[in-house]
Chain A
Amino acid sequence: MTAVSEHPSRTVEHPLLEFDNVGKSYGNVQALRGVNLTVRQGEVTCVLGDNGAGKSTLIKIMAGLHDYTEGEMKLNGIERRFGSPRLAQAAGIATVYQDLALAPLMSVWRNFFLANEIRTGPLRMLDIEAMKSICGEELRKMGIEIPDLERPVGRLSGGQRQVIAIARAIYFGAKVVILDEPTAALGVKQSGVVLKYIVKARDAGLGVIFITHNPHHAFLVGNHFIILKLGRVVLDAHRSELTLDQLTAEMAGGQELAELSHELGGIDAGKVVAPHEVRHGGVGAPELDDSADGSADGSADGQPKGTA
Chain B
Amino acid sequence: MSTVTTTSTDDRVVTRSWLAQVMGRPEVGALIGAIALAALFSAAAPAFRNITNIGTILYGSSTIGIMAVAVALLMIGGEFDLSAGVAVTTSGLAAAHTAWYFGLNVWVGVFIALLISLAIGAFNGWLLYKTGMPSFLVTLGTFFILQGVNLAVTRIVTGGVSSNSLNDMDGFNSAKAVFASTFDVGSVRINITVIYWVILTIIGSLLLLRTRYGNWIFAAGGDAPAARAVGVPVVATKIALFMGVGFCAWLLGMHLLFNFNNLQSGQGVGNEFIYIIAAVIGGCMLTGGFGSVVGASIGALIFGMTRLGISYAGWNVDWFFTFLGAMLILATLVNLYVKRKADAR
Q: State the A residues within 8 Å of B (CB).
A: 63, 65, 84-86, 88-89, 95, 97, 100-106, 110-111, 113-117, 119, 124-126, 128, 145-148, 150, 155, 168
Contact = CB atoms under 8 A, between A and B. Distances in A.
Contacts of A106: 215, 218-219, 222, 289
A145 B223 CA distance: 25
Contacts of B21: 150
A114 B226 CA distance: 10
A56 to B, nearest CB: 12
Given A101-B223, A126-B212, A147-B10, A63 B229 contact: yes
Nearest to B289: A105
B225 interface: yes
A155 B223 contact: no
A126 B226 contact: no
A146 B215 CA distance: 20
21 contacts: A84-B233, A86-B231, A88-B231, A97-B229, A100-B223, A100-B225, A100-B226, A104-B222, A104-B223, A105-B218, A105-B222, A110-B215, A114-B219, A115-B219, A115-B230, A119-B211, A125-B211, A126-B214, A128-B210, A150-B21, A168-B230
Contact of B289 (A103, A116, A146): A103
A150 B9 CA distance: 18
Contacts of A119: 211-212
Interface residues of B, number: 31
Interface in B302-325: none
A114 B215 contact: yes
A89 B231 contact: yes
Q: Max chain A CB contacts within 10 Å: which of B8, B215, B223, B231?
A: B231
Nearest to B7: A145
A85 B231 contact: yes
Q: Main secondary structure on chain A at its contact with chain B? A: loop
A96 to B, nearest CB: 10
B343 A101 contact: no
Interface string B214-244: 1110110011011111111100000000000
B210 A65 contact: no
Given A147-B13, A147-B15, A148-B13, A86 B212 contact: no
Which among B214, B222, B233 has the greatest number of chain A C-beta atoms within 10 A? B222
A104 B211 contact: no
B238 to A, nearest CB: 14
A64 B225 CA distance: 13
B290 interface: yes
A22 B227 CA distance: 26
B229 A95 contact: yes
Contact of B16 (A86, A89, A102, A148): A148
Nearest to B233: A86
Contact of B232 (A95, A104, A114, A145): A114
Given A85-B229, A147-B13, A104 B8 contact: no
B147 to A, nearest CB: 34
